Amino acid sequence: MQSRRIDRIEEQLRIELSEILEREIQDPRIGLATVTHVKVSPDLRHARVFVTVLGDEVQRKKTLQGLRSAASHVRRSLSKRLHHLRRVPELAFDYDEDLEKEMRIEELLEQIKHEGE
């Protein structure tokens, strides 16, 4: 029962964070960032926000730096949107490497496929 609630909260946080990043954050360091998923601690005090960034390594670092500096503003905005939560979690932004790993696996599978032909 508790895990279903956390799953719902994680999904709701992902949606709200995506909207906040798109509409409210004006930091020039933040490029095209997409919130891929959110992982909340069982006590709902901390949330890791995973994002992907369009661009190279330098753009990724700039965007993460901008997101980390805007975390308190984003959290305040979340508290206004999610007033039903007793406590809005502390936010930690991290780069989501899953997409890169998936793309690398796809490349390797394509190589294997072409070598077999």
> Domains, the chain, ranges and CATH?
2-116 (3.30.300.20)
Per-residue burial over 36-48, b = 16 or more CB atoms within 10 Å of its CB, e = otherwise:
eebebeeeeeebb
Residue 67's pLDDT is 94
The encoded tokens of residue 58 equal 């330098």
pLDDT at 45 (0 to 100): 94
**pLDDT value of position 27:** 87
Q: Are 78 and 17 in contact (CB under 8 A)?
A: yes
Give residues with Cβ within 8 angstroms of 94, minimum separation 6: 48, 49, 50, 51, 64
Mean pLDDT by 10 residues, the chain (117 residues): 83 94 89 92 94 89 93 93 89 88 83 79
Q: What is the pLDDT of residue 99?
A: 76
pLDDT, position 38: 96
Give the chain's end-to-end CA distance (angstroms, integer): 50
**What integer pLDDT is reported at residue 1 of this predicted model?**
47
